[in-house]
Structures are given as C-alpha cells and as structure tokens.
Chains A and B, each alone.
Chain A
Amino acid sequence: GAGVSQSPSNKVTEKGKDVELRCDPISGHTALYWYRQSLGQGLEFLIYFQGNSAPDKSGLPSDRFSAERTGGSVSTLTIQRTQQEDSAVYLCASSLVQGTDTQYFGPGTRLTVL
C-alpha cells in the first residue's frame, strides 16, 4: 500500500517568509510525528499527534512553529517568519497507534531559507 508522503520535496524560501509543509500518513494510522534533521545530525523530535490532538508540543523550537492535523489524517507544519537556521530536512512519520508501535517515515521536505 501507499507509504507516508510529504510535499513539497524541496522548498526554497526567503528569510522572513512563511512556509507550509504537508504530510499524508499511511491510511488508518492514528499517530503522526514531525521531526527535523539538520545536516549531518540526528532526528530532532518536534511534535506528535494522536488523532487530531497534539498532547506533546515540547519539541517545537519556537512560537514561529505550529502544526495541525485535520480529520485524523493530513498534517501541516507551518513555520512563520523563516530564519536561516530553520534550513533542514523536515521528516514526517506515522504509526498505527502512539507509543512503541513502528514508525514509518516519509521522504522528507528539504527546506532552504536564503
């Protein structure tokens, strides 16, 4: 079946602009996760959703970052007033349920802030 998909695959933006990144999880997966991967670094947890609610927003780097999920499916990660340090690959993953269930990752969105 279809895996996790993300769009766009690449995004180049100017400093100060807002960007929206989209994640389509595997159908039927109730949990959805966002991570950030900077060049040569590991995966930094940002936020997760169980259904449409986000019990843990502790990983969001600043109030410029927000995320929502509607209909228990698609999620968008929004970065307002982008800064150069926001440049990274943003990865989305989904799992059947939240917890120690296998997480399946999408291909990521590479964000470059000029």
Chain B
Amino acid sequence: GENVEQHPSTLSVQEGDSAVIKCTYSDSASNYFPWYKQELGKGPQLIIDIRSNVGEKKDQRIAVTLNKTAKHFSLHITETQPEDSAVYFCAASYTGANSKLTFGKGITLSVRP
C-alpha cells in the first residue's frame, strides 16, 4: 500500500519568512496530493491540492510543487503570519475503486511574531 512520509516533524520560522514542508510517497500510481491544515481543536481543512497532470499550483501565499519522478511534493508558504501556525498534513491517493487517502504524520508549523 501507499506510504506517505513528512519531514521535518516540526518547523519554526520567523513571521514574514517562507516555510517549506516536504512529503514523499511510495506508490507511483498515486495521482492526487492534497494538503490539509489543522488548527487546535478543529478538523483538518483542505488548503490546496495538486493532481499529477501539473507540476505546480499556486493560491495566493500558498503553492504546492510535485515531482513525480522523485515521488515527492512540497508545500510552500510565503510571507508567513502567526495565523499560519498549525499542523499541516499531506496525503496521497490514486483514482480508482476503493482508493483512499493515505496521510503523513503531520508537521507542526510555528510562526514566531
């Protein structure tokens, strides 16, 4: 089955700096890669996703890049703000019957004011 790994497990950045979170996956059949943000006491919220027919996707301060050859994808947050502090999860799945998202263990991002 699919195995998704996130590195590092914690990340601390100064407000205004950029943050990059990386994930690797094992199943070359995976073609959908979402990123979720989870704030304390809340459920995960989708912030951006990418499908394997594109290499990069941007949404304001957030971008995701995908390298299918190397089987890794990254979340980029620019001009970080304190409200970006949260746990971020990456996930992977493939199109097909019985496919399901496999999540990484999450990374705690702290943005220092």
Q: Which residues of B contact A4 (CB under 8 A)?
A: 43
Given contacts A48-B100, A108-B43, 18 further A-B contacts (CB under 8 A): A41-B105, A42-B89, A42-B104, A42-B106, A43-B103, A45-B102, A55-B97, A91-B44, A102-B34, A102-B49, A103-B101, A104-B46, A105-B36, A105-B44, A105-B45, A107-B42, A107-B43, A108-B42
Pick the contact of B105 from A42, A48, A55, A103 — CB < 8 Å? A42
Q: Which residues of A contact B49 (CB under 8 A)?
A: 102
Q: Which residues of A contact B45 (CB under 8 A)?
A: 105
* A and B contact pairs by CB, cutoff 8 A, 27 listed: A33-B100, A41-B106, A42-B89, A42-B103, A42-B105, A42-B106, A43-B89, A45-B100, A48-B100, A55-B97, A91-B43, A98-B98, A99-B96, A99-B97, A99-B99, A100-B32, A100-B94, A100-B95, A100-B99, A102-B34, A102-B49, A103-B34, A104-B46, A105-B36, A105-B45, A107-B41, A108-B42
List CB contacts (< 8 Å) of B71-97 with chain A.
89, 93-97
Q: How many pairs, one residue from A and one from B, have CB atoms within 8 Å of each other in the complex? A: 58
List CB contacts (< 8 Å) of A23-68 with chain B.
33, 35, 41-43, 45, 48, 55-56
B interface secondary structure, majority: loop
* CB-CB nearest in chain B for A107: B43
Q: Which residues of A contact B105 (CB under 8 A)?
A: 41-42
* CB-CB nearest in chain B for A89: B43
* CB-CB nearest in chain B for A91: B43
